[in-house]
Structure 1
């Protein structure tokens, strides 16, 4: 059963060593992420699953590692505690940032990562994954990593798309209300998410299907620094 979830964006710039001189610009975002993850940990789940987009659909066990070396920082990040399996797949960027956030919370319990492809994934498949993850332990916590549109203004990575602001507003409302109108499941089809460069579609759909109406949902952050929609939410 899902007992808590933290929703966070996954830009590597969240890591101050990556952001370097620009790190203070995201201080408010980091604080919101820390608050959401802290609430997740305080719910005392038996298992935390970090969910984020990658190149494939697969589970990563505790001890799997991801690297920030591609962003100029000679640092590896480990998912939870453990040695990891020899030859195991590396964590994708979204799960690497999630593992870094979880480590900041001092979580020492069981953890897994679930990497989900952003392409070719139907809403029913994401929903089935959400139900399965919620049933994977008696008390499950999800740390759900994903960004909104990367086309919010002319300086955004994907330049301006006039649809982006309205879609991101719908995402923010869904995260604030527990997606009670089903926007994440019905309003975010794959083609639209691809056009708007939204990485959070599959992770958010997994979350939406995993929870019931008993969770208290709060939106802690909603802004678009660098023209990318970033959201932080706490569901407990």
Structure 2
């Protein structure tokens, strides 16, 4: 059963080495993410699963100890998703960027509360399959926690990656309300087509969370909401 969840954005710019001079602009987001991870640790889970958006080559499960690199962003930094079981070789398949950012957050928080696994979620995965995947994650152990990585729209300003779309602010506000209040119905009902048009990569992972949280009775708190660089970022903690 799901006992806690943290929702965090997943831009590589969260990693100070990647952000370089722009680092301070995301300090508030970094702090909120670490606070949300603290909620996970306080729940004393038996298993932590990091879920985040991934392309076709990065979807599916990732074993403990899977590594991710930020070399594609000009930084010689490698992170791991927890530790591989003793005596087992480190998994070879590299983490997608979203899970690498999640692994970095866990390292920053000195996570040692439970074994860690990963799940890459296809950004176009239909809502019903996201919900089903989430239910499957919640059934993995008696006490499961989720670290859910995902950004909102990338269309909040003319300088945003997706340029300005007047629908983006309302989409992000609705998603943030749902994440902050643990509104499973609202998350489940997020419009897949609109999310795709707005380049909101968090839609599918958020719906995985909604599926995992059914019947868990968790409440939510919104810890951060902003749109630096024209991309919607939200941080929430569920417990």
- What's the offset of the Cα at 1:213? 5.4
Matched residue, 2:188: 185
How many residues align? The count is: 233
Verify the 8 A CA contact 1:153 1:159 in the aligned structure 2.
yes
1:34-87 C-alpha deviation (Å, 9 max, x unpaired): 000011111110000000011233110111001000111101111101277466
Verify the 8 A CA contact 1:174 1:184 in the aligned structure 2.
yes
Unaligned runs of 5+ in 1: none
Matched residue, 1:203: 205
1:156-197 C-alpha deviation (Å, 9 max, x unpaired): 1111001000010100110011124x22211322x2111100
| Bigger mean CA deviation after superposition, 213-222 or 46-55 | 213-222
Alpha-carbon separation, structure 1, partners of 2:89 and 2:174? 40
Matched residue, 1:33: 33
Matched residue, 2:75: 73
Matched residue, 2:148: 144
Matched residue, 1:111: 116
Matched residue, 1:222: 225
- What's the offset of the Cα at 1:29? 0.5
Verify the 8 A CA contact 2:3 2:216 in the aligned structure 1.
no
Verify the 8 A CA contact 1:34 1:101 in the aligned structure 2.
yes
Matched residue, 1:174: 178
Unaligned runs of 5+ in 2: none
SS in 2 for 1:209: helix
TM normalised by structure 1 equals 0.95
Verify the 8 A CA contact 2:65 2:90 in the aligned structure 1.
no
| Bigger mean CA deviation after superposition, 99-108 or 168-177 | 99-108
Verify the 8 A CA contact 1:32 1:220 in the aligned structure 2.
yes
Q: Runs of 4 or more off by more than 3 Å in structure 1?
A: 83-87
TM normalised by structure 2 equals 0.94
Matched residue, 1:48: 48
- What's the offset of the Cα at 1:104? 1.5
